[in-house]
Amino acid sequence: MEKSSGCIVCGKELTYLEIPKRAKCVYCSDVQDTSTLCVNGHFVCDRCHRLPAEDVIEKYCTTTTILDPIAIAQTLMKNPTVNMHGPEHHFLVPAALIAAYYNVKGNLDTKVQKIGQARQRAEMIKGGFCGFLGDCGAAVGTGIFLSLITGATPLSREEWKLSNLITAKSLEKIAMHGGPRCCKRNSFLAIRSAADFTRENLGIVMPITTPITCQFSALNKECLTKDCPFYLD
């Protein structure tokens, strides 16, 4: 995928219109006149074009109405501010899950507030956490998600159990694929595991209907290729 030119949502070429059109920004949902659209119709406003990764993640997750957390994550991963690997994935995972969860439940004010809290908590998970502390930040992100939606604290009982258990389950899935780290593989594994966990334990279904196929292997020099479940030949 070409990241330096073309549409930052899908990578396809941009078209320049002689007469501006009204279009909705993919990331912030603002409706504006634009002379630039991609061939798939995507529009990204100037303000969103200039945002750093964490702002793009927060903005998109608070405004999107998508129910599939993998689809939310994949759109964000294609944004050029989100690196192939990097600690922004520690926020991307809980943000995508919180967005999907509250989009399913229909509680949008709470969603905005919880995504802001997730961003603050995710800042505590530094880069390299996986290899240096034995706790992949994508897995910790699932714990942040469950802690926030259940209101867990260090003194809770059931919420505390579930928050630690969701991290354990996703971390095991991540660990069993071995290293080297891949923030894309681990984010996909964490989100899928968290969606299963949320359905089984809270009865809320975040439907994963997009196939989980990786579009980033060419950018990853340590890609496991055929040993990665998401590798596309």
Under 8 Å between Cβ of 215 and 232: yes
Residue 21 beta carbon to Zn ion: minimum distance, rounded to whole angstroms: 14
Residue 211 beta carbon to Zn ion: minimum distance, rounded to whole angstroms: 19
DSSP string over 70-106: HHHHHHHHTSTTS-SSSTHHHHHHHHHHHHHHHHHHT
Nearer to Zn ion, 26 or 195 (CB): 26
Selected binder of Zn ion within 5, 35, 40, 153 (CB under 5 A): 40
Q: Which positions from 181 to 200 touch Zn ion by CB under 5 A, shown as an x/- string?
A: --------------------
For residues 130-149, which are near Zn ion according to CB under 5 A?
A: none
Nearer to Zn ion, 101 or 216 (CB): 216
75 is a contact residue toward Zn ion (CB under 5 A): no
25 is a contact residue toward Zn ion (CB under 5 A): yes
* DSSP bridge partners of 37: 15
DSSP state of 23: E
61 is a contact residue toward Zn ion (CB under 5 A): no
For residues 92-111, which are near Zn ion according to CB under 5 A?
A: none
CA atoms within 13 A on the CB side of 212: 19
Q: Which residue has the tokens 């119709």?
A: 41
Selected binder of Zn ion within 23, 37, 48, 115 (CB under 5 A): 48
56 is a contact residue toward Zn ion (CB under 5 A): no
73 is a contact residue toward Zn ion (CB under 5 A): no
Cis peptide, bond prior to residue 207, ω within 30 of zero: no
DSSP state of 58: H
Q: Which residue has the tokens 């709470």?
A: 110
Q: Which residue has the tokens 């006149």?
A: 33
Q: Which stretches of the chain bind Zn ion, using CB under 5 A? A: 7, 9-10, 25, 27-28, 38, 40, 42, 45, 48
